[in-house]
Structure 1
C-alpha cells in the first residue's frame, strides 16, 4: 500500500531531557487507521508532532505524500500542513467565543481558502451535530465538543488526521462515539488516521498498532484487539 506519511531515521532531542525519538523509521499507509502506543515518556507524542509538522526533527526526513516536510521553511510548511492535514486533540482546542459553525470553518478561513459550506454541513450531520451549528462549545458536552473538533478536522478534506489522545478526556460512551467516527473517516472517506493513545480498547479500533519505548519502535501489531494490545503494552513496560 502507498505510504502517505513516512518518517525516515528521525531523531529528536530536547535540551536538558532524554532523547525523545532515536533514529525512528515508520510509514503509515494511505486510507488506514494506526494507533501509536507506549508508556509515558516513550516518544509517542513527539512522533505525532514531528509527523504532523508541528515540531521539527533534529535529523531525518518526514515525508507527507512524498514531500519532505523537514526541508520546508515557513510559510510553505504551514501551507502543506493546512492543505493536507487535520488535527484532533485531547482538549478539543475550540474557540469558545465562536459558534460550532465558525469553529468548523475557522482553519479554512485562516488558510485564506473559500470554505466548502455544503461539505461542512454534511460533516456536521455525520458527526451528529446537525442543528447545533449556532451553539457555543461551552454549552456542549465533552463528547459533543470532541465531535466538533473532528468535524473541524474533516471539513478541510485532509489526507491525514493526526489525533493525540482524542478520547482521553471523555467517558466510555463518548469515547466510543469518537472512535467510531474516526473509523468511519477511514472506511468511508479514505482518510488516514494516526492516533496516539494509552488505551488498549481505543487501539482496538485501528488497523495497526505501533509501540514505542525510550524513543524507539519496539513492536508492531496488525489487526489489534484490546486484549492483544494490553498484552503487548505489558511486555513493553516490562522491558
Structure 2
C-alpha cells in the first residue's frame, strides 16, 4: 500500500537559543493511502505540530514532507496555498463556517476560492452522505453542533482531496454527536477510499482508526493497529507516566 503523506526526519523547533522548544524530533513516518490514522499523545507531545507539518500548514525546521510524491518543504506560500486548496481537506474542532452563507455555499467555498466549478452530482452526493441533503439552504445558526461539523466534513470532501486532516474534530461535540461524526469519517475511508489523519485525545475516537500513532516528547514512540478504546486508554496511561 502506498503512502498518501511521507515525513522524512522532520523536526520542528520554535524559538532560538536557550528558549528554543523542539516540538518534533526527526520524525519519519508514512501515512497510508485509503486508511484512517489517529495521532495521540500527552499534551505538548507534538501531535498538532505533526499534523500541521504534514498538511503544509507549518514548515519543518529540518526534514522533508511529501504529499503523494510532491515535496512541500521548499514551496513558496502561494504555491502551498494552491496545493492545500486542491489536494487537502481540513476538519477542525472549531467548525469555521461562514455564518452568512448557506450549507451549500459553505461546502463549495473552497471551490470558489480556487475558481473551480462545483460538480453538482458530486456535491449532491456529498451532502446526502453527511445527512444534509435537505438542509442545503440552511445557515449555520439553524443547525446543531453535530450538523455544523458535518458541513465542515462535506466542505473537506467536496474537492476530492488526497488527504483529510482533522485536528480534534469531535472535541467540541457531545458524546453521541461525536460518535456520529466519527462513523461518518470511518465511512469516507471504507466507502470512498478517502485517507483520513486525525489528532485526538479521546481513546474512543482513536478506536475508529485503522492505526494509532503515539507521540511523546516530539517523537513517535509506539504504533497500534486495529485499536480498541480500552487498549488505547491503557497505552495513553503509560505514555502519560512516561511524559
* Normalised-by-shorter TM-score class: over 0.9
Select the residue among 46, 51, 62 that pairs with 2:65. 62
DSSP-derived class of the 1:178 partner: helix
Equivalent residue, structure 2, for 1:137: 140
Select the residue among 143, 149, 153 that pairs with 2:152. 149
Could you give the per-residue CA deviations for residues 82-104 of structure 1, whole angstroms, max 9, x where no partner exists?
11110000011111111111000
Shift of 1:117: 2.1
Equivalent residue, structure 2, for 1:39: 42
Equivalent residue, structure 2, for 1:97: 100
Select the residue among 222, 231, 235 that pairs with 1:232. 235
After superposition, the CA RMSD in angstroms is 0.9
Aligned counterparts of 2:95 and 2:120: Cα–Cα separation in 1: 21
Shift of 1:186: 0.5
Could you give the per-residue CA deviations for residues 173-219 of structure 1, whole angstroms, max 9, x where no partner exists?
11011101101111111110000000000000000000001111111
Equivalent residue, structure 1, for 2:214: 211
TM-score (norm 1): 0.98
Equivalent residue, structure 1, for 2:14: 14
Could you give the per-residue CA deviations for residues 6-27 of structure 1, whole angstroms, max 9, x where no partner exists?
1111111112452111111111
Shift of 1:235: 1.1
DSSP-derived class of the 2:43 partner: coil
Equivalent residue, structure 2, for 1:2: 2
Could you give the per-residue CA deviations for residues 41-80 of structure 1, whole angstroms, max 9, x where no partner exists?
1100000000000111111000000111111113221222
Shift of 1:36: 0.1
Shift of 1:29: 0.6
Equivalent residue, structure 2, for 1:168: 171
**Gap regions ≥5 residues in structure 1:** none
Equivalent residue, structure 2, for 1:189: 192
Is 2:225 the partner of 1:222? yes
Aligned counterparts of 2:193 and 2:139: Cα–Cα separation in 1: 30
DSSP-derived class of the 1:55 partner: coil
Shift of 1:161: 0.2
Shift of 1:121: 1.4
Select the residue among 175, 198, 202 that pairs with 1:199. 202
How many pairs are equivalent? 239
DSSP-derived class of the 1:48 partner: helix
Shift of 1:116: 1.2
DSSP-derived class of the 2:66 partner: strand
| Runs of 4+ displaced beyond 2 Å | none
